[in-house]
Amino acid sequence: MIYHTVESLKGTDRDVQANGYTSMRFLLKKDNMGFTMTESFGEAGFSEEVEYVENMEAVYVIEGTGTIELLDTGETFKIAPGVFYAFDKHERHRYHLETEVRAIAVMNPPLVGDESIDASGKLPGT
């Protein structure tokens, strides 16, 4: 059985702080579950372009508000508590957070460890 508390993960390679967000990684590739599960916090005012070239991501929003803009189509979607979204086609997108946002995310393939979005908006190393 795998068992973690948020407190037990703080300060480890599973507690990733980068560019206006924090990602607490409950499951990584080394856990052999086939996916990564995170609790993520985005700071108010966070705005960043992201493209997951290798990963699929599904997200459930717990707290906070903002928007996601799909960069190839110009569509925008509201982020708010109770919203679920998934990037099933590796969509290039930009987050615009109005308030701090707390969300639970699942990624496949799983993350290796402390990867974070690089300057090009991509998530390397998975």
pLDDT above 60: residue 25 = yes
Specify the CATH number for the domain of residue 85: 2.60.120.10
- Residue 13 located in a structural domain: yes
No. of helices (H) and no. of strands (E), the chain: 1, 10
Query: Between 125 and 71, where is the model more confident?
Result: 71
pLDDT above 90: residue 30 = yes
- Residue 11 located in a structural domain: yes
What is the torsion angle, in degrees rounded to the nearest 10, for the CA atoms of residue 74, residue 71, residue 44 and residue 12? 150
Q: Which residues span the domain enclosing 32?
A: 6-106
26/94 Cα distance (integer angstroms): 25
Q: What is the pLDDT of residue 115?
A: 67
* Structural domain count of the chain: 1
Q: 0.85 exceeded by the pTM?
A: yes
- Residue 116 located in a structural domain: no
Q: What is the pLDDT of residue 12?
A: 92
Beta strands in 28-83 (DSSP E): 36-42, 47-50, 56-63, 66-70, 76-79
Q: Which amino acid, one-letter code, is at 8?
A: S
Q: What is the pLDDT of residue 114?
A: 66
